[in-house]
Structure 1
Amino acid sequence: MVDLGVIFRPQLPLERLRAMARAADEAGLAELWLWEDCFFDGGIATAAAALAWTGRLRVGVGVLPLPLRAVTLTAMEAASLHRLFPDRFILGGGHGVQEWMGQAGVRVDSPLTLLREYLTALRALLRGETVSTTGRYVRLTDVALERPPATPLPVLTAATGPRTLRLAGEVADGTVLTAATRPDTVRRARALIGEAGRTDPHRVVVYLHAAAGPDATARMRAELDRWREPMLPEYAREVTASTVAEAVANLAEAGADSVVLQPTADETDPAGFARWAAEEVRPLVS
């Protein structure tokens, strides 16, 4: 069965993260995802807090803008969280929104080259290997973690276009797809990822727009207008637990391993949203 999760959006007050994480954990959701959008809250710090506040919930960062961090530091931080909270931290990294990377002074000429070099080195470090490389953007000399993960830590990446999806199939262990993704897009993504010819599992995580409450349909229309996206077919009449569950099932059938519900930016009760996802949506997902 598909794993169901929720997103704590960076627009929400950070002080509400604890309540949402605990609600998701207690209600039995599989995952909580955080965004490291510039220039909000740090993904590693918030993931560590959410992991410490919960007991079984997996916590993912989708995704870290990799140009902001040296690959060695990312490997050290990820390995620490994986050892402290075994098999509960989900590491995601991407080349970042180029406008933001420019503001931060770390924009590169070839984001895909950076992503290839970075993810290749990162995964090797997390496997406990000693890494030396002289790439265009990643340069390491005999670097090895003193405390590498005791068990495998998969590395996911964000991807939308064909080139990035093919690269994800080559150098990542999973892919994160945005809430603009439709079932046919998941199928195309799976096909492009599969062109790498790898036989090991490749986890596909898909975000899904969702809203709860009596005004859910109106709020969803406003949210999609902000994203300049059309209304989801499942939501054509109204947004309810049933129609959200239908959308989850359709994405799962198309190849999503995990569907993560993305609340609207004006959500006032993130903890209640997590409980609604677990108690009202999840039982309806076939």
Structure 2
Amino acid sequence: MTTLGVVFRPQLAPEKLRPLVRAADAAGLEELWLWEDCFLESGVAAASAALAWSERLHVGVGLLPVPLRNVALTSMEAATLLRLFPGRVSLSVGHGVQDWMGQVGARPASPLTLLREYLSAMRALLRGERVTVDGQYVHLDSVALDWPPLEAPPVYAGGVGPRTLRLTGEAADGTILDASFSAEGVRRARQLVDEGRESAGRTGEGHHKVVVYLLAATGPGAAGRLHAELAREGKESVPGLGVAGDAGAVAKAVQGLVEAGADTVVLQPTADEPDPEGFVRFAAEEVRGLVP
């Protein structure tokens, strides 16, 4: 069955998170996703609060920028969340926005090398292994978590370009695709991920999940808000991006992404969504029932 989620965008002030989490939990939303965007909000701090404020809501962080974070710290934080809230957390990592990484003096010369080394070390640490590695970017000397997760979790990685998408297949357990992917884009991305899995000999490891964000708007002025956001991103001329309309229209767009290879679709409201809590209820109470 397709999993449906909503993202809490960090353009909303942190204090807006609690009422939205309560609304999501009460409405039966399956997943709430958070971003760690510079210089807005911490993904891990927000995830911890959201999990504590809810009873059954699954919380994902997509994604944590690896140049900004030592892999041991990210693994410690991940393990803590996974033990505090077993079965309710998904974490993903990625390059981050390179201009932002440059602003804090953390821009790597080879983002692909860093992400590959990071994924290898993080997955090993979360399996409870003792890790020694002296890579180009990742350096660990006999590091092991004292409180690893009780069960090794999947580690997702985000990607846009072909080489990164192949890498997510090679080295991650799942892939995060942002809202710049149409259904056709998701189909091509899934092919690249599968190529990476095949090159790494991982095709027998089980299903590699793909999480896709879908820019969505509903209610009065929905089409205008959607077009304005796409225009701000310079993507208003890209066919098949985003959806504006009622629950039926949104569900149809979700199904198109699923048919292209998405396992989870996360509805991404526009940055100027006038009723974030209402958007959560719309997703959980109106769209969910129309998505197989």
Q: TM-score range by the shorter chain?
A: over 0.9
Task: Give the gaps of 5 or more residues in structure 2.
Answer: none
Q: Is the 8 A contact 2:5 2:266 kept in 1?
A: yes
Aligned residue in 1 for 2:112 = 112
Q: Is the 8 A contact 2:183 2:240 kept in 1?
A: no
Equivalents in 2 of 1:164, 1:234: separation in Å?
Answer: 21
Q: How much has 1:225 moved relative to structure 2?
A: 1.2
Equivalents in 2 of 1:94, 1:46: separation in Å?
Answer: 18
2:249 is aligned, of 233, 243, 253, to: 243
Aligned residue in 1 for 2:286 = 280
Aligned residue in 1 for 2:53 = 53
Q: How high is the TM-score relative to the length of structure 1?
A: 0.96
Aligned residue in 2 for 1:187 = 187
Aligned residue in 1 for 2:41 = 41
Aligned residues: 285
2:221 is aligned, of 193, 215, 218, to: 215
Superposition map of 1:1-286 within 5 A: 1-195=1-195, 196-197=197-198, 198=202, 199=204, 200-230=206-236, 233=240, 239-286=245-292
Matched position secondary structure for 2:170: helix
Equivalents in 2 of 1:209, 1:162: separation in Å?
Answer: 22
Q: How much has 1:240 moved relative to structure 2?
A: 2.0
Q: How much has 1:152 moved relative to structure 2?
A: 2.1
Q: How high is the TM-score relative to the length of structure 2?
A: 0.94
Q: Which amino acid aligns with 2:273?
A: E
Matched position secondary structure for 1:40: coil
Equivalents in 2 of 1:56, 1:149: separation in Å?
Answer: 19
Q: How much has 1:12 moved relative to structure 2?
A: 1.0
Q: How much has 1:212 moved relative to structure 2?
A: 2.1
Equivalents in 1 of 2:216, 2:3: separation in Å?
Answer: 16
Equivalents in 1 of 2:45, 2:8: separation in Å?
Answer: 14
Q: Which amino acid aligns with 2:168?
A: A
Deviations 1:222-277 (Å, cap 9, x if unpaired)?
111112223764978x5222111100011011110100000011113211110011
Equivalents in 2 of 1:22, 1:130: separation in Å?
Answer: 39
Equivalents in 1 of 2:67, 2:240: separation in Å?
Answer: 37
Identity over aligned pairs, percent:
61
Matched position secondary structure for 1:163: helix
Q: Is the 8 A contact 2:179 2:241 kept in 1?
A: no
Matched position secondary structure for 2:231: helix
Equivalents in 1 of 2:153, 2:241: separation in Å?
Answer: 35
Q: Is the 8 A contact 1:234 1:247 kept in 2?
A: no
Q: Which amino acid aligns with 1:136?
A: Q
Equivalents in 2 of 1:120, 1:210: separation in Å?
Answer: 34
Deviations 1:67-92 (Å, cap 9, x if unpaired)?
11111111000000000000111111
Q: Is the 8 A contact 2:126 2:153 kept in 1?
A: yes
Matched position secondary structure for 1:160: coil
Equivalents in 2 of 1:60, 1:182: separation in Å?
Answer: 22
Range that drifts further, 266-275 or 128-137 = 266-275
Q: How much has 1:115 moved relative to structure 2?
A: 0.2
